[in-house]
Structure 1
Amino acid sequence: MPATVPPKAAFIVCRDGDAVPPALTGAVAAIGNFDGVHRGHRSLIERTMQGDRPSAVVTFEPHPRLFFQPDKPHFCLTPEPVKLAILQRIGLDGVFIRRFDRALASLSAANFVDLLANELKLSGVVVGHDFHFGRGREGNPTVMAELCRERGLDCIVMPAIGEGGEPVSSSAIRTALEQGDVEKANRLLGYRWFVRAEVRHGDKRGRDLGYPTANMRLPDNCGLRHGIYAVRAATAKGVFDGVASFGRRPTFDNGAPLLETFLFDFSGDLYGQILDVEFLGFLRGEEKFESIEALIVQMDRDSVEAKRIIAADETPSMIG
């Protein structure tokens, strides 16, 4: 996969109600939710960047599944701030964010393409081979191409991207992370999956163990398997390798899930900082230890194994 390019001077986020700025007028836009911004998504996005027109993405928040199934938990791979950070790093000129609500869901396929042409002032669109849109999912790539032709828009339909005989999909990535298979998830993504959250005060138990940690509360719908991981984190002082525990701390309180990250070779106060923590490998599941001494011995082993995984990993990074 091509390496990421430095962000352009101005990355524009255009939301509902915003006037389309000149820098995005006539853009070619990839359309989709793009949860994960994985390799398949990247093939669409990179296609928008091949000409001399502005390049953009049209995406939807919240995820349509949350609108149609509000009571069903949904593991979001890239919450909006993370998704925007990735799209900017890829090198797009901007993004159009449309709120997915009843009004948008009720648009016919024809009216949706009218929105693209007249409200967003696009000159062309790029969609995937399985893209559906419009009320009741009545639109498909063939319908999109015909509606675009009638309105003078270019339309490019991209084929599926596969990995090991299976399509690259957000669902496959969610499943991999739920199983702790970080390596597979990262292969499908084309970069190291990462989370973003604020460092909060904890019980400071890690200091007594010799492993002071940065504690972060991830979204309640985070489906990542509980366990121990090799990680890297971007801080105000730079990027540091580390080892992290995500889970309920069964040896101590079995409380609400937290991401607790110990950074190698780091000293300082991280409270209140927003950290990006990327995952490189799964070490083991969460365990309850019979003694603090046994836990510390295992933590020492975890640190050695995490360093080995990090040193060997060559997956591209989206942080720092």
Structure 2
Amino acid sequence: MPIIRDLEYFPEAARHGAVAIGNFDGVHRGHLEIVRRLIERAREVNGPAIVFTFDPHPVRLLRPEQCPPPLTWTERKAQLLAEHGVNKVVAYPTDEQLLRLSAQEFFDSIVCNLLQARAIVEGPNFYFGHNREGNVELLSQLASRAGLTLDVVPPVEIDGGLVSSSRIRELIADGKVANARGLLSAPYRIRGMVTHGAGRGAKLGFPTANLEAIDTLLPGVGVYAGRAWLNTTSYPAAIHIGPNPTFGEAALKVEIHLLDFHDVLYGQPLEVEFVDQIRNTCTFESEASLVAQLEQDVHRTREITSRELGSETS
């Protein structure tokens, strides 16, 4: 789904519908409840289901030192939202002019004039306008005056806690990608560019793609089973995040071994999703013991990714 970024030539097809405004970072199960209600309201008003988000996150401009790494990049966010029925995604190019708008000005210029919305759907912790002065109570008043309906969707609770981007971020940083998957709408995914490494993996019989320029949160140090996506084709992948202490290297690296792949990847973009953590990183006494462990890692990766694929198709 094409992302709408040019607000000067805003398409009519993205107006007169139901809108949800927010960051939707990670597109988690709480977000999906908002999307479900959004689609219902869009049908009732006979218009599109629109998600209005921001690129970059406003906090990146206001308090960059407090802005955590995102869970999703904008294109991935739009892809996930489209898979769950959203018709249009607007990625507002966040700037100082937007951040100066009062709550009333934001509502008038964005909701009424730009989107010409007929319905609004939000979560209970929605804030808008300069210094976050607007909340759902004020939004309810503004919507009522403008003749718009407002739905406030309650948060989703799973395993005794609220589903939130911050909770998911903590799980991923701890390497608990399988736990995070239970809160997300899809397995956690990162992207980057494949660069040249030391070539040591190929010599051991396990060539790896070294991933750099990653613009989202990196899972904690460890070895993971997952999938690597090259364009629209996916391959089972054993993923190592961390240093290589066996060879005296302290620098953190992201290395992906694509199973059953024998082509050259240098200079290509690669997306990698995480299914489960296999083990922690450790130091090996010899190359032979390392190779033996890598063989086990590949075997576990096949098992885990085959099981995951089976659960998706069942």
TM-score, normalization by structure 2: 0.90
The aligned residue for residue 19 of structure 1 is 9
CA distance in 2, matches of 1:316, 1:176: 22
The aligned residue for residue 125 of structure 1 is 120
Aligned to 2:121, the other structure's residue is in SS state strand
Q: 1:36: Cα distance to partner?
A: 0.4
The aligned residue for residue 226 of structure 2 is 231
- Within the candidate set 152, 156, 161, 1:157 is matched to 152
The equivalences for 1:75-94 within 5 A come to: 75-94=69-88
The gaps in structure 2 that reach 5 residues or longer are none
- Within the candidate set 3, 17, 31, 1:41 is matched to 31
8 Å contact kept, 2:190–2:214: no
User: In structure 2, do the counterparts of structure 1 residues 65 and 249 end up closer, same or farther at CA, with 3 Å as the change threshold?
Assistant: farther
User: In structure 2, do the counterparts of structure 1 residues 171 and 196 end up closer, same or farther at CA, with 3 Å as the change threshold?
Assistant: same
- Within the candidate set 105, 112, 119, 2:106 is matched to 112
Match for 1:102: what amino acid?
E
- Within the candidate set 263, 266, 275, 1:268 is matched to 263
Q: 1:195: Cα distance to partner?
A: 1.1
- Within the candidate set 61, 64, 67, 1:67 is matched to 61
The aligned residue for residue 22 of structure 2 is 32
8 Å contact kept, 1:82–1:195: no
The aligned residue for residue 177 of structure 2 is 182
CA distance in 2, matches of 1:173, 1:192: 12
Match for 1:107: what amino acid?
L
- Within the candidate set 241, 245, 270, 2:240 is matched to 245
8 Å contact kept, 2:190–2:216: no
User: Which stretch of the first structure deviates more once superposed, 85-94 or 221-230?
Assistant: 85-94
CA distance in 1, matches of 2:290, 2:57: 40
User: Which stretch of the first structure deviates more once superposed, 189-198 or 34-43?
Assistant: 189-198
Q: 1:179: Cα distance to partner?
A: 0.8
User: In structure 2, do the counterparts of structure 1 residues 316 and 23 end up closer, same or farther at CA, with 3 Å as the change threshold?
Assistant: farther
CA distance in 1, matches of 2:216, 2:300: 28
Which 4+ runs in 1 deviate beyond 4 A? 314-317
Match for 2:61: what amino acid?
F
Aligned to 2:101, the other structure's residue is in SS state coil
8 Å contact kept, 2:177–2:219: no
8 Å contact kept, 1:190–1:315: no
Q: 1:221: Cα distance to partner?
A: 6.2
The gaps in structure 1 that reach 5 residues or longer are 1-10
CA distance in 1, matches of 2:151, 2:24: 17
Residues 42-94 of structure 1 show CA distances to partners (whole Å, capped at 9, x for unaligned) of: 11122222213111111112123322321246121102232233223333221
CA distance in 1, matches of 2:306, 2:172: 21
Aligned to 1:270, the other structure's residue is in SS state coil
Residues 1-46 of structure 1 show CA distances to partners (whole Å, capped at 9, x for unaligned) of: xxxxxxxxxx342225332212112121111111101111111122
The Cα RMSD (Å) is: 2.1
8 Å contact kept, 2:54–2:94: yes
Aligned length: 307
The aligned residue for residue 142 of structure 1 is 137
Alignment partner of 1:257 is 2:252: yes
User: In structure 2, do the counterparts of structure 1 residues 299 and 73 end up closer, same or farther at CA, with 3 Å as the change threshold?
Assistant: farther
TM-score, normalization by structure 1: 0.88
Match for 1:85: what amino acid?
Q
CA distance in 2, matches of 1:293, 1:55: 56
Q: 1:203: Cα distance to partner?
A: 2.1
Aligned to 1:313, the other structure's residue is in SS state helix
CA distance in 1, matches of 2:232, 2:80: 21
CA distance in 2, matches of 1:83, 1:237: 17
8 Å contact kept, 1:13–1:95: yes
Alignment partner of 1:192 is 2:187: yes
Residues 190-226 of structure 1 show CA distances to partners (whole Å, capped at 9, x for unaligned) of: 3211112222222221110110112211537634201
User: In structure 2, do the counterparts of structure 1 residues 65 and 237 end up closer, same or farther at CA, with 3 Å as the change threshold?
Assistant: closer
CA distance in 2, matches of 1:253, 1:103: 50
The aligned residue for residue 7 of structure 1 is none
CA distance in 2, matches of 1:273, 1:236: 10
CA distance in 2, matches of 1:82, 1:237: 13
